[in-house]
Amino acid sequence: MGLSLLLCLSTACNDWCKGELQPKTQTLELTYIAWACDCANWATPDDLTTFADNEDDELAKRCIFIEPAFEDLQLPDSLGYSNDRIRFTGRFYENKGFPDGYSSMEEPEPARVFRYTGFEVLESNYRLVKEAL
């Protein structure tokens, strides 16, 4: 158990660490949070409301990594800015881990990983960021 946990905590986490995909397909509205780390950075509206002012980093602990089911579903560079809102359809892995292709020089905590098969942009802040530059 200890060895497998150590392997799962590494940034080279394989699919077997995350386990199988849960059977239930879900649609989640997620908001991007630009943390100052390589941590999971997508949060549900409920978690944003409930834990935004929590001093125990509960919001960070509840954030989600996302993973496209197919390469052509990668989010474009114009998405992933602070407060971007996207509706994703997909399934969670059974265990916490890291998305496929994830790498980091830090040692972030593993988090829930949502493998999405589709997405719809609800709000993008790309233009606001470009105009500020």
> Which amino acid type is present at position 43?
A
CB atoms within 10 A of CB 44: 15
DSSP string, the chain: -HHHHHHHHSTT--HHHH-SBPS--EEEEEEE---SSSS--EE-HHHHHHHTT-TT-HHHHH-EEEEESSGGGPPPTTS--TT-EEEEEEEEBSS-B--TT---SS-PPPBEEEEEEEEEEEE--HHHHHHH-
Structure tokens at 98: 């890291």
The pLDDT value recorded for residue 36 is: 85
User: How many percent of the chain have pLDDT more than 70?
Assistant: 81
Q: pLDDT (tens digit, 9 = 90+) per residue, 94-125? A: 999 999 999 889 888 999 999 999 999 999 98
Round to whole Å and give the CA distance between 80 and 42.
9
Residue 16 has pLDDT above 90, yes or no: no
- Which two three-digit tokens encode residue 59? 């919001």
Residues 6+ apart with CB under 8 A from 109: 39, 40, 61
pTM of the model: 0.81
Rounded Cα gap, residues 66 and 60, in angstroms: 15
